[in-house]
């Protein structure tokens, strides 16, 4: 069984995380490292994909706790979404076959992880891509593929503030209602357990052996790879 490296990075600025993704992707494309999952949180930021329209960010200048929320254009699929502390963001940088199959695999892993929390969720089909709890969306997905290796990935609402979703048109869906693990379960502090569950379920879904790396260990490997 091949490995899936799993590295929890903590809270990382979006630009820094994107740079790290590109480093990992280059190493994976060169077969210098195995498939790798980066797990992290972002400071408040709106990101919008290739199909997003300006009308989806009508209040992008809103502030959270007195600080303006950054807006970043990215090369992933999908539309505009919000990331913030308390939300589990995952970037599976893995070699894939087809994009739709990859998205369904990630959805399935998130659904299985949510089931561990007592939440019955479903995948996007026939709804738009993502993970849903009845009519409410709890996780968003969007990826980019280059030379058969994926970047970007998923965001699962755990303990994060949902208000910033109301200031945009999240995922291009004007009527969508967002939810979170905390809201569905009534429990606080759900992120650590969810992080562990998602990592385990994604490794299982990909048929990989989960191997944990510290940020320092990953940086050391990448330095040796790109140096």
Q: How far is CA 36 from the centre of its chain?
A: 13
Catalytic residue status for 125: no
Q: Of residues 27, 40, 149, 171, which has the active-site annotation?
A: 171
Distance between CA atoms of residues 192 and 30, nearest Å: 32
Beta carbons within 10 angstroms of residue 137's beta carbon: 23
Cis peptide before 126 (omega within 30 of 0): yes
Question: What is the secondary structure of 17-68 as a DSSP string?
Answer: HHHHHHHHHHHHHTTSS-EEEEEEE-SSEEEE-TT--GGG-TTTT-EETTEE
Catalytically annotated residues:
171
């Amino acid at each position: 069984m091949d490995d899936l490296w799993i590295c929890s990075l903590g809270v990382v600025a979006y630009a820094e995380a994107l740079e790290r993704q590109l480093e990992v992707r280059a190493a994976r494309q060169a077969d210098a490292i195995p498939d790798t999952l980066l797990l992290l949180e972002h400071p408040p930021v709106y990101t919008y994909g290739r199909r997003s329209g300006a009308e989806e960010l009508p209040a992008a200048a809103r502030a959270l706790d007195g600080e303006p929320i950054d807006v970043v254009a990215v090369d992933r699929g999908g539309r505009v979404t919000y990331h913030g502390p308390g939300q589990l963001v995952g970037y599976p940088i893995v070699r894939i076959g087809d994009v739709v199959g990859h998205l369904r695999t990630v959805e399935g892993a998130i659904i299985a992880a949510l089931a561990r929390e007592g939440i019955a969720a479903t995948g996007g089909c026939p709804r738009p891509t993502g993970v849903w709890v009845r009519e409410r969306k709890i996780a968003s997905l969007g990826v980019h593929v280059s030379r058969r290796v994926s970047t970007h990935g998923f965001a699962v609402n755990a303990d994060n503030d949902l208000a910033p979703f109301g200031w945009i048109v999240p995922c291009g869906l004007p009527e969508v209602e967002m939810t979170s693990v905390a809201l569905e379960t009534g429990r606080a502090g759900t992120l650590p357990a969810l992080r562990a569950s998602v990592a385990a379920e994604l490794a299982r879904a990909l048929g990989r052996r989960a191997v944990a790396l510290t940020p320092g260990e990953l940086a050391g490997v990448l330095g040796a790879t790109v140096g």
